[in-house]
Amino acid sequence: MSSSADDLYDFILVGAGSASCLITSRLSQQLPDHRILVLEAGEHIRNDPKVQTPGLAHTLQSNPIYDWQYSTGLEPGLNERSIKHPRGKLVGGTSAINSHSIVFPNYEWHDRLAKGLLTDAGVNDWSSEGMKECYARWQDENSQTKANHDEESPDRVQTSFPRSIDFLQSQWMRVFEDFGHTAVATGFTESSVGPVMVTNAIDASKGERSHAGTAFLEPALKRGNVTLRTGVKVDKIVFDKVLTGGKLNATGVRYTHQGEEHFISGREIVLCAGVFESPLILERSGVGSKEVLAAADVPVLYELPGVGENLQDHLNCSLSFETHDDVPTRDNVYRDPEVQKAALLEYEQSRTGRLSEGAAYSFAFTPLQMLETQSETQQLTEMVRHLVEETSSPSLQAQYAFIQKTSENPHEATATTFMLRTQRNRDTDSLPKGTPSIVPGNYVTVVAMLAHPFSRGSCHISSDLSIGPVINFNYLSHPLDTEILARHLRLIERLFQQPTFLAMAKPGGRRLPRSFPHPISSLEDAKKILPINSATNYHPCGTCSMMKEELRGVVDERLKVYGTNNIRVCDASVLPIIPRGNILTAVYAFAEKAAEIICRETKASCQSD
């Protein structure tokens, strides 16, 4: 094993994903005299048209050049399907392969997190008031007319609205107006109900994807105090044999590069390896559940049973209706290769057209009370209260009480709902072999994404350390997820009966999913659809949760791993309860707060020395 006595870094960041790139940027600016090392298992892929072109995002997922291609075990709640979970295999992480939409958490989520799951010491940092600047700092909204944008703000992700609002996007706003809900504010705000036009992580001045690698790490690498090493697989954290202050003290990390083992020394380790890999690195290092470590023959250095637990994801389900032939959906791209060629040519010539934009801008924050009767709402409220009271685990009791407040508040979304201007087929596995993946016609699809699921899963090392993580989400394992998501399918059906959508629907037109090609007439209809037509929104989080240790948390309010002096975690794994909407906004904001805390503590330590 090779090592160098001179190779001592102040900070070693494991992973070069969304959070790591941002933290590196901030540390390189604010701590210019400190040496920073970033270790990335993937590669630094620059100037790749597939990454840069917004409309080609779908070609990156499942492509082994760009995607680690994780998948779950067989999920009983989803008809024993194994669910793919793409994660970015390049600098920038999943922000470099995702589908761009920018949806923010709400104030209430942060306030409940800070006051209900953390000690009093964390309230100021993690409440909505303490996080406002963090949500504002990482992004910069822009338009295609803004010039030299990179020079003006090189350390922010560029976000933008669509260049123009098309027919279906305007109709999305109108369908909510049909029953009294006007557009609500985007961004990090208090909860509100209704439709919202969101931005996408696209630099409109270039018509290109804006991700963490380009926005944060590229500028940081030019400052002289940051070193990036790619193709590096971190095996474990190495600790002093003697405890310091009764806690483990990390001396560095052991990693493999091109088949050779290396050791690198660091004063502080920040794990940013992602929701699936950060817990595995802790477990391989001897921090985790004694049962999991014993099965893998790893000595327990600090027992922390929450490592790898509390795994959550946004499950979604959709309904589609066929529109009149003259409604301008985007289904023609599936049917006509010439449409695809024309779109690519337009993009190459002018960076305009459908390939210059993301797939989804039309969202809505939808509590069930929006279209439920009072008796329907009361029935669910009583069911939630009963099942939460039955919960025996202190950790789940705290989390479920958090979600219960959301479900009872008519101003908070129990699902984030969004519109796709095309058909969506997620039930192919349940249909006869050879069934075409695309159906004829033009479609509007509305998707309900369960805001705060009750189901919990896990991600752990295998007893065979040479294979990847063992991932199980246990989708729909908690009965309330089925109850709430089924009710949101019923809400979508009621949306379809509003005048705006009815005017677009083709008389006698097809309905999707094909496995249930009829309007939903009962809650039982909706429940039957869930196992065969539900899908992930690719928002895994929670495996190194920031919670009190007695609640099975893994990191404290300073993002320090319990039982250690100098290891932090910051990526999607630290989100203790999944926020509404797409989680990337929260990951960036948590990274801003992590950098803020690290800089504050480092500067205080330097002054005391």
Q: Yes or no: say if 18 and 92 are a contact pair by the CB < 8 Å rule.
A: yes
- Residue 234 annotated as part of some ligand binding site: yes
- The β-bridge relationship of strands 202-203 and 443-450 is unpaired
- The β-bridge relationship of strands 315-322 and 511-512 is antiparallel
Rounded distance, CA 13 to CA 45, Å?
19
Which residues, 6 or more positions from 364, have their beta carbon under 8 angstroms from its beta carbon?
A: 172, 176, 194, 195, 196, 416, 417, 418
Query: How far are the Cα atoms of 76, 309, 317, 488, 535 from residue 530, in angstroms, in the given order?
Result: 12, 24, 7, 11, 9
SS3 133: helix
Scan for tokens 């005391």, then name that residue: 608
- The β-bridge relationship of strands 157-159 and 139-141 is parallel
Rounded distance, CA 91 to CA 45, Å?
7
Burial 3-39, CB ≥16 within 10 A → b, else e? eeeebebbbbbbbbbbbbbbbbbbbbeebeebbbbbb
Rg (CA), the chain: 24
- Residue 94 annotated as part of some ligand binding site: yes
55, 57, 62, 65: CA torsion to nearest 10: 110
Count the Cβ atoms, other than its own, within 10 Å of residue 466. 5
Q: Which amino acid is at 451?
A: A
Q: At what angle do helices 394-408 and 107-116 cross, to 10 degrees?
A: 150
Q: Which residues are known binding-site members? A: 94, 234
Q: Which residues are known binding-site members for FAD? A: 94, 234
